[in-house]
């Protein structure tokens, strides 16, 4: 049962925190972050070290605000997710618009969440930044 609960928690993260609902303050996302993420939440990209990782729930709230400003209209869908009692792995798909160029963004990548005490405590995001940069480039 824990695996299913952990998947539900991860899916709530994408639905409530990542999607853009047209609220520049992201009030819904902030409320969800407070409910879903541990105080000491850590986010890593690709091969970042502990020193390079983003730390803290408050830091992640700022990240979500910046992300929606950079990619308005972002819509996240989950292609699949698997979990056990302490880890959730998700392949996701984002569709959005680049705020600077107006280019459409269509990207797939994967996240691995670490779960501790009923909250998401770690996010390890693996994505191809070269592909993202190519999609964002002025045409």
Please name each of the domains of the chain with its CATH number. Answer: 2-136 (3.10.450.50)
pLDDT tier for residue 24 given thresholds of 50, 70 and 90: confident
> Average pLDDT for residues 20-48, to the nearest whole number?
95
Global pTM?
A: 0.94
> Average pLDDT for residues 59-82, to the nearest whole number?
96
Residue 1: pLDDT above 80?
Answer: no
User: Cα(56)–Cα(59) distance, rounded to whole angstroms?
Assistant: 5
> Average pLDDT for residues 19-38, to the nearest whole number?
94
């Amino acid at each position: 049962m824990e695996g299913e609960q952990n998947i539900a928690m991860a899916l709530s993260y994408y639905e409530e925190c990542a999607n853009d609902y047209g609220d520049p303050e992201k009030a819904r996302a902030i409320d969800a972050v407070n409910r879903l993420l541990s105080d000491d939440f850590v986010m890593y990209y690709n091969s970042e070290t502990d020193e390079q990782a983003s730390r803290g729930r408050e830091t992640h709230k700022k990240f979500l605000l910046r992300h929606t400003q950079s990619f308005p209209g972002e819509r996240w869908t989950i292609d699949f997710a698997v979990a056990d009692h302490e880890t959730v792995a998700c392949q996701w798909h984002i569709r959005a618009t680049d705020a600077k160029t107006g280019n459409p963004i269509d990207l797939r990548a994967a996240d691995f969440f670490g779960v501790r005490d009923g909250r998401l405590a770690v996010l390890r995001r693996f994505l191809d930044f070269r592909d993202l940069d190519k999609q964002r480039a002025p045409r």
